[in-house]
Amino acid sequence: MAEITADGDVIVGRRRPKNNPLIRRIEVGKPAFHNDLPPLPPNYTFGAPLKRDPEGAGDVMLTWQSHSPPVSKVTYDFGRDFVSLNRKGISDGCLSAKQTTEYRKTHDARIKPKVSAKKPLIAPLALISDPNHSFGARSEPCERVADLIQNRWEYEWVAEQKRRCEALEAAKDDERKRHSSPKVRAADKRLAALAAERSKATTPHPRETFTLPQFRHVPSRFATTPTPEYA
């Protein structure tokens, strides 16, 4: 199979597609299109459309969603109980998936809340119905934005550090005054003399670490002192 182009070139092999961007010749001065698209409107934009959130930043910053108490388990719908529906369907003779689907359309069973003894595991109804009651730990009081802008916490920290330094200096002054008294000086001299005497005293014999007395006097196999002939 051969093909003769308009320029007189002979192409041997299968017929090549004319819309292949890798082998398509580009005319000088014209842009190269990689695919043949139908005419598009002038305001057409390529790419995925931008999905905007209907709730903008202003709504998020200027509104506050208050806490709503949870719905009581007695009135809350937990959905359909498919386990009970399957059991009832088998007892009624539903043996295929199609029969089970048709059975679910005409029968219904709801999931019941878990009950321990006689009381359901829910909060008291008086608390749930109270709109001013909120569950959880109490929040700390909110700080003002003006305090943050005016660096109130920085000034408080600087004042606290100043008070701590003043307290330390006062304690050092009291210690200096106490050491400057003659009674304390005499006591310090006595303590220094006792420490010097203890350092000069002979140290006691170190405790013997050998714990087997039956082997205490066994001579060594090697001579630890030189003999006269080798001295």
Reply yes or no on whether the pLDDT at 24 is more than 70: no
Which sign, positive or negative, has the C-alpha torsion 198, 201, 203, 204? negative
pLDDT tens-digit series, residues 26-83: 677 766 655 566 778 888 887 888 888 888 888 888 887 766 656 665 566 778 899 9
Contact 13, 1 (CB under 8 A): yes
**pLDDT for the residue numbered 35:** 59
Give 54 or 123, the one with higher predicted confidence. 54
Reply yes or no on whether the pLDDT at 190 is more than 80: yes
Give 194 or 17, the one with higher predicted confidence. 194
pLDDT tens-digit series, residues 129-179: 788 887 778 777 788 888 888 888 899 999 999 999 999 999 998 888 877
Residues 6+ apart with CB under 8 A from 72: 122, 123, 125, 128
Residue spans per domain, the chain? 145-194
Structure tokens at 149: 């802008």
Beta bridge partners of 4: 10
